[in-house]
Amino acid sequence: MKNIHLTPEPRTDLVQAMLKKPLEAKMFIGGEWCEAAGGQWLTTVDPATGQEIGRFPEAASEDVDRAVVAAAEAQPRWAETPPAERARILWRIAELMEAHIDELSELESLDQGKPLYVARWAEVLGAIAQFRFFAGQATAIEGKTIRPSITYQPEGKRVEAWTYREPVGVVAAIVPWNSPLVLTAMKLAPALAAGCAVCLKPAEDTSLSALRLAQLMQEAGLPDGVLNVVTGLGPKAGALLAAHHGIDKVAFTGSTETGRAIVESSKGNLKRVSLELGGKSPVILLEDADLTLAIKGAANAIFFNAGQVCVAGSRAYVHRSIYDRVLEGLATEANSLTLGHGLNPVTQMGPLVSVKQAERVSGFIERARQGGATVVAGGERLGPIGTFIQPTIIADVKPDMEIVREEVFGPVLVVQRFEDLDEVVAAANDSKYGLAASVWTESLSAAHRLSRRIKAGTIWINTHSMYDASLPIGGIKQSGYGRDSGIEALDNYLETKTVCAVL
Ligand code: ADP
């Protein structure tokens, strides 16, 4: 377990070159590639080793203003572009991503740390699917005709009414570092399909793939200014966008704390906000669960992407009759995972994205240990700069402990036992979060009942973290509001205009 496979084996020219000399990337504003007005740069490192792999501009407020102006100028023309033409460009973006899939996957793996296969299947293919799905939606946006009951129209006339669905305008998309490409695509694709222009602020730890995507989007024929990528720090560039009066809507994915800050900043012009925030998702194993599936599934629900997933299944609730077997099985799964550099072919789990994140996660583990919990597997911080956290299983916890209540965002699972369905429903719902949950059972009746009773935006049955561009995803309670993905995601980027006419 302590042997970490640190040697990257990239195959694309881009990533091979980055390992020799850091990439110098520019921001994308109004169709031009530019440096920051203040001449400031940020650097990004390989999270497995700490080696610098790239630098990119740190946007100042002039840059944010320029991006907003460029988007505002481009948006009306984009909204007037025939929907079929918008669809054609979105589809072309998907095709170009597919043509560059090796490069995009390696770039994401190097910058974020995730294993190459995760970058390829979950991120790049997931992002492509978003562009394809919303290419289809661009031509399907429609209003309604309504027959009102108004009786006071002039004699001989009648009242007719109908609605238009119009783009909300200029959108700020602020995205996190855990799954940069797919989460970016979840905002860009519906926003562009709806006729909005976007100022994208990628996360400071993982800005490179967004910049590469912007190059491909330019090549696909997206008009200048319709997409602008402003790189920089969250509390600076991100906060400026969230507060900007030229922004009509913020689409955010990230932590609940930052989501709250964004809502605060948005007050000035009452811009629309949609938020996909944190979670502490329960994974419930009933006594009749198919354990060969359920144990592996529960392990995957937390260890996939090293637990840096908003819907990660971080609280397992196991029926007392199978508890010992499941706990032992989960520990075996945890101990069997191969840790390494995302670009090493044997790697099953990579490092966390940054030293800061690894420190945060190991702090949670330490405090759980000090509070009396048992670390059944893992628990250690490893690697040349300490960014690897062993897959960790924690038992003997109490419901009010921090490790049970707070989002860790790392490969750390707490396992608890339960006696009956009422008890597990109450425990699962005893959380400020409500993003997702999974139920593992062979009983159709229990699966249906629990999927009604558990308070979460998504319920998976006999699976976890299963995404598709057609499936809405988002939270209730402090996991946020609004839905990404699926037809419903268009609602984030459209306003309804009502026309009422006496004819
Ligand atoms: P983390 O704390 O794990 O880095 P965040 O939720 O803070 O996650 O980050 C998600 C995104 O939000 C990133 O792009 C980050 O730069 C941005 N961000 C951080 N703070 C703010 C803020 N105050 N206003 C707007 N965006 C922010």
Mean predicted confidence (pLDDT) in 481-488? 98
Question: Who contacts 366 (Cβ-Cβ below 8 Å, separation ≥6)?
Answer: none
Please say if 257 is a catalytic residue: no
- Determine the residue of 174, 200, 257, 274 to mutate for testing ligand 1's pocket, defined as the one with the most ligand atoms within 8 A of the Cβ atom: 174
Residue 234 CA to ligand 1 centre (angstroms): 5
Helix, strand and coil content of the chain, in percent to the nearest 5, comes to 40, 25, 35
| The pLDDT of residue 310 is above 60 | yes
Catalytic residue from among 103, 106, 108, 276: 276
pLDDT, tens digit (0-9, with 9 covering 90-100), for 125-169:
999 999 999 999 999 999 999 999 988 878 889 999 999 999 999
Atom of ligand 1 nearest to the CA of 232: 16
Residue 207 CA to ligand 1 centre (angstroms): 13
Catalytic residue from among 310, 328, 366, 423: 310
Decide: helix, strand or coil at residue 186.
Answer: helix
- Determine the residue of 230, 255, 258 to mutate for testing ligand 1's pocket, defined as the one with the most ligand atoms within 8 A of the Cβ atom: 258
Decide: helix, strand or coil at residue 454.
Answer: coil
The two three-digit tokens of residue 2, written as one number? 């302590």
Residue 328 CA to ligand 1 centre (angstroms): 37
Is the distance from the beta carbon of residue 410 to the nearest atom of ligand 1 less than 6 Å? Answer: no
Measured distance CA(385)–CA(49) in Å, rounded: 6
> What share of the chain has pLDDT > 70, as a percent?
100
Residue 253 CA to ligand 1 centre (angstroms): 9
Residue 266 CA to ligand 1 centre (angstroms): 14
Is the distance from the beta carbon of residue 204 to the nearest atom of ligand 1 less than 6 Å? Answer: yes
pLDDT attached to residue 152: 80
Atom of ligand 1 nearest to the CA of 261: 23
pLDDT attached to residue 243: 98
| Residue among 7, 76, 70 nearest 33 (CA) | 70
Q: Say which residue the tokens 């507060």 belong to.
A: 243
CATH of domain 281-468: 3.40.309.10
Report the amino acid identity of residue 340: G
pLDDT attached to residue 34: 98
Dihedral-angle region of residue 127 (phi above 0 means left; psi in -120 to 50 means alpha; beta otherwise): alpha
Residue 257 CA to ligand 1 centre (angstroms): 9
pLDDT attached to residue 373: 98
Report the amino acid identity of residue 243: A
Backbone angles phi, psi at 488, to 5 degrees: -60, -25
| Residue among 328, 337, 325, 326 nearest 300 (CA) | 337
Q: Where are the domains of the chain?
A: 13-277+480-499, 281-468
| The pLDDT of residue 1 is above 80 | no
Is the distance from the beta carbon of residue 237 to the nearest atom of ligand 1 less than 6 Å? Answer: no
Is the distance from the beta carbon of residue 351 to the nearest atom of ligand 1 less than 6 Å? Answer: no
Mean predicted confidence (pLDDT) in 73-87? 98
Nearest CA residue ID for atom 11, ligand 1: 176
Is the distance from the beta carbon of residue 375 to the nearest atom of ligand 1 less than 6 Å? Answer: no
pLDDT, tens digit (0-9, with 9 covering 90-100), for 323-342:
999 999 999 999 999 999 99
Is the distance from the beta carbon of residue 480 to the nearest atom of ligand 1 less than 6 Å? Answer: no
Asked if 194 contacts 162 with a C-beta cutoff of 8 angstroms, the reply is: no
| The pLDDT of residue 106 is above 70 | yes
| The pLDDT of residue 16 is above 50 | yes
Decide: helix, strand or coil at residue 427.
Answer: helix
pLDDT, tens digit (0-9, with 9 covering 90-100), for 249-265:
999 999 999 999 999 99
Q: What class is the 13-277+480-499 domain?
A: alpha beta
Please say if 276 is a catalytic residue: yes
Mean residue pLDDT of the chain comes to 97
pLDDT attached to residue 3: 82
Q: Is 70 or 3 the better-scoring residue by pLDDT?
A: 70
Nearest CA residue ID for atom 16, ligand 1: 234
| The pLDDT of residue 88 is above 60 | yes
Mean predicted confidence (pLDDT) in 263-276? 98
Is the distance from the beta carbon of residue 261 to the nearest atom of ligand 1 less than 6 Å? Answer: yes
DSSP codes of every residue in 270-300: T-EEEEE----EEEEE-TT--HHHHHHHHHH
> What share of the chain has pLDDT > 90, as a percent?
98
Measured distance CA(176)–CA(488) in Å, rounded: 21
Q: Which residues pair with 285 in a beta bridge?
A: 318, 440
Mean predicted confidence (pLDDT) in 98-107? 98
pLDDT attached to residue 2: 60
Residue 416 CA to ligand 1 centre (angstroms): 32
Atom of ligand 1 nearest to the CA of 203: 14
